[in-house]
């Protein structure tokens, strides 16, 4: 059973192509992530799926219904939506805001239930304007959850939040999904996608450039570890890419301006070999780090750019 299916979506703004032919399917009960840098077309894509933006081309089916069938209101009853830029009214309390959104739906949670879901019971009488960023974001999610949605759309739900607030929101999303809900979220945080999503689509310049489970995508790197190093100025000669690629356990080499990254299968063989090579060249390290390969590394290997500054 599919929750979302869209084919060949295209959306242009003036002379910018925001979405350039996107096909996606989201299974019922899954958490699907749209991942990519700012400007990749994530928000345009999710807003087309939400029925807020009309695509220039392509077909969308959400919960077996289409937006252009005039089924809009019936379909909206079944969705929960959080938008990236919404600022809820500052002078209303948390409770008044939830009650307002609740009134739009035929079947909904009570105010108490939904405040419990996002753990905002203590703030129910506080003005929205007085809430912290994390609390505001949880309220926005509460307004999305109040409709008892089958499908929840979240557009960058944790952008700009501190780590603790982020983790609280992850818990809210995980609980929703465990209860059988389907989630489509966008993010530019790789660890968020790895932590929450069953499958992710990596987007860049309006296209999906990779699709799969986080594990599958990382596996496309051919190795599970990344070794990054940088050399001190002036000492010895730096080894070239071809030399580095021949070191034991190294699968690929990505030189960048300030550092070189090696994708390796076995850190314990690759690092001593690298050290020996640098020693022979008289080069001196200014930085050496290793980590498990992440979706960030997948993005870098696909585009040659870092996600954050892409």
Partner 1 sequence: MRDHPLVQLTLARMREFYREPEAIFWVFGFPIVLAFALGIAFRNRGPGELRVAVLHAPGDSAVAAALERAPGLTAGVLDSADARVQLRTGRIALLVVPGDPVVYRYDSTRTESRLARLEADEVLQRAGGRPDVARVRDERVTEPGSRYIDFLIPGLLGMNLMGSGLWGIGFSVVQARTKKLLKRFMATPMRRSHYLMAFVLSRLVFLFLEVAALVGFGWWIFDVGVRGSIGALAFITVLGALSFAGLGMLVASRARTIEAVSGLMNLVMLPMWILSGTFFSYSRFPDTMQPFVKALPLTALNDALRAVMIDGTSVALLGAPLAIVVGWGLASFAVALKIFRWR
CB of 89 to partner 1, least distance (A): 6
Q: CB of 265 within 8 A of CB of 220?
A: no
Q: How far is CA 83 from CA 46, 48, 116, 231, 233, in A?
A: 9, 12, 21, 44, 47
DSSP E strands, 1-41: 2-13, 16-27, 31-35
Cβ neighbours of residue 81 closer than 8 Å, sequence gap 6 or more: 50, 144, 152, 153
Q: Which stretch binds partner 1 (CB under 8 A): 47-55, 181-189, 205-213, 273-281?
A: 47-55
Interacting positions 159-178 with partner 1 (CB under 8 A)? none
Q: Which stretch binds partner 1 (CB under 8 A): 6-14, 62-70, 93-101, 283-291?
A: 93-101
Q: Closest CB to partner 1 among 51 and 214? A: 51
Q: Does 57 bind partner 1 (CB under 8 A)?
A: no
The contact mask relative to partner 1 for 263-302 (x = CB under 8 A, - = no) is ----------------------------------------
Residue with tokens 């081309």: 57
**CB hemisphere CA count around 50 (13 angstroms):** 24
Q: CB of 133 within 8 A of CB of 165?
A: yes
Give the residues across from 212 on adjacent strands: 200
How is residue 142 written in tokens? 């509460």
CB of 85 to partner 1, least distance (A): 5
The residue within the footprint of partner 1, chosen from 81, 118, 202, 253 (CB under 8 A), is 81
Q: Does 73 bind partner 1 (CB under 8 A)?
A: yes
Query: Can you give the three-state secondary structure of 61-86, one letter per residue?
Result: EECCECHHHCCHHHHHCCEEEECCCC
Which residue in 207, 157, 159, 156 sits closest to 18, CA to CA?
207
Q: Does 233 bind partner 1 (CB under 8 A)?
A: no
The residue within the footprint of partner 1, chosen from 48, 79, 114, 118 (CB under 8 A), is 79
Interacting positions 112-151 with partner 1 (CB under 8 A)? 143, 147
How is residue 47 written in tokens? 């807003």
CB of 84 to partner 1, least distance (A): 8
Q: Closest CB to partner 1 among 91 and 268? A: 91
Q: Which stretch binds partner 1 (CB under 8 A): 66-74, 181-189, 267-275, 299-307?
A: 66-74
Q: Closest CB to partner 1 among 152 and 200? A: 152
Binding site residues, partner 1, CB under 8 A = 50-52, 72-74, 76-77, 79, 81, 83, 85-89, 91-92, 96, 99-106, 143, 147
């Amino acid at each position: 059973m599919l929750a979302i299916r869209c084919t060949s979506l295209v959306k242009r703004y003036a002379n910018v192509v925001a979405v350039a032919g996107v096909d996606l399917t989201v299974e019922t009960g899954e958490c699907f992530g749209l991942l990519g840098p700012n400007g990749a077309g994530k928000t345009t894509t999710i807003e087309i799926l939400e029925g807020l933006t009309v695509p220039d081309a392509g077909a969308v089916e959400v919960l077996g219904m289409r937006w252009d069938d005039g089924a809009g209101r019936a379909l909206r009853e079944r969705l929960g939506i959080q938008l990236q830029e919404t600022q809820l009214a500052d002078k209303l309390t948390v409770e008044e805001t939830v009650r307002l959104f609740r009134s739009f739906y035929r079947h909904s949670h009570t105010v108490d239930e939904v405040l419990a879901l996002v753990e905002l019971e203590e703030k129910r009488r506080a003005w929205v304007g007085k809430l912290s960023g994390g609390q505001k974001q949880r309220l926005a999610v509460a307004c999305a959850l109040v409709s008892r949605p089958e499908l929840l759309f979240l557009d960058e739900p944790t952008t700009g939040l501190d780590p603790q607030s982020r983790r609280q929101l992850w818990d809210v999303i995980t609980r929703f999904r465990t209860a059988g809900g389907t989630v489509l979220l966008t993010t530019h945080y790789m660890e968020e996608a790895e932590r929450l999503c069953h499958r992710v689509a990596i987007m860049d310049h309006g296209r999906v450039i990779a699709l799969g489970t986080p594990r599958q995508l990382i596996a496309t790197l051919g190795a599970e570890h990344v070794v990054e190093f940088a050399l001190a100025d002036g000492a010895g000669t730096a080894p070239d890419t071809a030399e580095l690629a021949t070191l034991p356990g190294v699968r690929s080499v990505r030189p960048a301006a300030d550092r070189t990254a090696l994708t390796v299968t076995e850190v314990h063989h690759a690092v001593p070999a690298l050290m020996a090579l640098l020693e022979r060249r008289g080069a001196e390290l200014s930085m050496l780090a290793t980590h498990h390969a992440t979706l960030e590394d997948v993005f870098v290997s696909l585009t040659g750019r870092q996600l954050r500054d892409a």
